[in-house]
């Protein structure tokens, strides 16, 4: 486990892996047939003079040790996992209003004195929050009132990302410990692990009802059905691309970031990959992405150098036809925006892992 908070996050592995990346310059338009078949067109692009980005610092502060790792929207609020080096305090889940104010801070000491490492958070079908705790090889349930319950994995492995998916269950990516797998957890606490032959990172539910995930170390995208059938896709992904974060798009496809390629890519549920780089600053490293309320995909990106230092931070938007716009006005260049989500107010919200802040992009 890397102790520096900005690295030991769900998206922090990008900073660890992405030094010296450059874009290939490859840009392929979305096939007209796919765009027509979906019947989708992204809404008008918000101009740079209209987009407003504001940063909020109402998170627990303790020198440089706290760093938010994930954000989700539920119950009219934003919920943020804020990690800290276990030598300096406890991890915390923070509830924020859409004005950026902290209403609750729920501290978690962990099952042992060494603390925890919260990588991802999602609201389950039961209304509770479920958190991937990689340090303790467990999934943690938190009620909206802040009561925690631990669910240790049946074998010593490391959950890295989690999503609410088919069967009203939680599905999560397991980094190798006892073995790489895609995990399923019912809200009653029953585990099932489906072994895979690649190392999964981020996970999403596809329009086909299967679980799709990135495998950066294998330069691949993986797919697992709900009964555990595994398929690996590599064709169309540039060598050394480092697929990192994945999310379902409004067009029925899955979209993913390529951290070392400076690209955003799209994969259909039949496995066809299209990569896009035009409009993305070549030195930027795309991190997380999600579908926005405007029919486009929104992503975070930053530039790292030296010992994981950050000197450029942006929010990007890619339409379903592959056209990219970037926004940086209002962001601290050293902020390191990582996880991003649509908020209950119709705006895009993200966490700044190096600045220990949240950000809001008003559409």
Domain ranges of the chain: 12-68+155-342+349-356
Of 350, 355, 356, the closest CA to residue 53 belongs to: 350
145-152 mean pLDDT: 96
* pLDDT confidence of residue 309: 84
Provide the token pair at 321: 């036809």
Rounded CA separation 95/307 (Å): 32
* pLDDT confidence of residue 47: 65
What CATH architecture applies to the domain 12-68+155-342+349-356? Answer: 7 Propeller (2.130)
- 110-114, 206-210, 264-268, range with the lowest pLDDT: 110-114
Provide the token pair at 181: 């797998």
Give residue-wise pLDDT tens across range 216-254.
999 999 999 999 999 999 999 999 999 999 999 999 999
258: CB partners within 8 A, 6+ apart: 237, 238, 241, 242, 243, 244, 264, 265, 275, 286
Q: Which residue has the higher pLDDT, 185 or 155?
A: 185
Given a contact cutoff of 8 angstroms between Cβ atoms, the answer to whether 198 and 173 are in contact is: no
Rounded to the nearest integer, the mean pLDDT of the chain is 87
* pLDDT confidence of residue 86: 73
Rounded CA separation 213/220 (Å): 9
118-125 mean pLDDT: 97
44-70 mean pLDDT: 83
Work out the number of other CB atoms within 10 angstroms of the CB of residue 46.
18
Rounded CA separation 33/43 (Å): 19
Rounded CA separation 70/182 (Å): 20
Dihedral sign (CA 20, 25, 26, 31): positive
Residue 163 dihedral angles phi and psi, to the nearest 5°: -145, 150
Give residue-wise pLDDT tens across range 3-28.
333 333 333 333 333 333 333 333 33
């Amino acid at each position: 486990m890397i102790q520096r908070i900005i690295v030991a996050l769900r998206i922090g592995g990008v900073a660890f892996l992405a030094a010296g990346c450059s874009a290939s310059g490859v840009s392929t338009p979305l096939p007209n047939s796919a765009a027509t078949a979906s019947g989708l067109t992204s809404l008008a692009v918000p101009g740079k003079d209209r987009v407003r980005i504001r940063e909020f610092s109402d998170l627990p502060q303790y020198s440089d040790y706290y760093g938010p790792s994930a954000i989700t929207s539920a119950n009219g609020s934003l919920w943020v996992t804020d990690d800290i080096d276990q030598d300096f305090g406890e991890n915390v889940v923070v509830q924020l209003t859409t004005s950026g104010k902290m209403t609750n801070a729920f501290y978690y000491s962990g099952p042992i004195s060494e603390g925890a490492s919260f990588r991802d958070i999602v609201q389950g079908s039961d209304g509770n929050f479920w958190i991937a705790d990689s340090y303790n090889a467990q999934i943690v349930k938190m009620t909206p009132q802040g009561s925690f319950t631990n669910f240790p994995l049946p074998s010593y492995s490391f959950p890295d990302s989690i999503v609410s998916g088919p069967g009203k269950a939680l599905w999560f990516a397991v980094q190798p410990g006892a073995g790489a797998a895609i995990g399923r957890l019912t809200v009653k606490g029953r585990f099932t692990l489906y072994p895979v032959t690649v190392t999964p990172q981020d996970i999403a539910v596809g329009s086909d009802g299967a679980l799709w995930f990135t495998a950066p170390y294998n330069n691949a995208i993986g797919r697992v059905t709900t009964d555990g059938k595994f398929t690996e896709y590599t064709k169309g992904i540039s060598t050394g691309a480092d697929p990192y974060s994945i999310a379902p798009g409004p067009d029925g496809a899955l979209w993913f970031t390529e951290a070392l390629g400076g690209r955003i890519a799209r994969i259909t549920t039949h496995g066809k990959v299209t990569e896009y780089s035009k409009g993305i600053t070549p030195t930027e490293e795309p991190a997380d992405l999600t579908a926005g309320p405007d029919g486009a995909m929104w992503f975070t990106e930053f530039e790292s150098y030296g010992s994981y230092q950050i000197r450029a931070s942006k929010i990007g938007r890619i339409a379903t036809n592959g056209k990219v716009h970037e926004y940086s006005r209002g962001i601290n260049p050293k902020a390191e925006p990582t996880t991003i989500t649509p908020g209950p107010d119709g705006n895009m919200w993200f966490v700044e892992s190096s600045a220990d802040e949240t950000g809001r992009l008003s559409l």
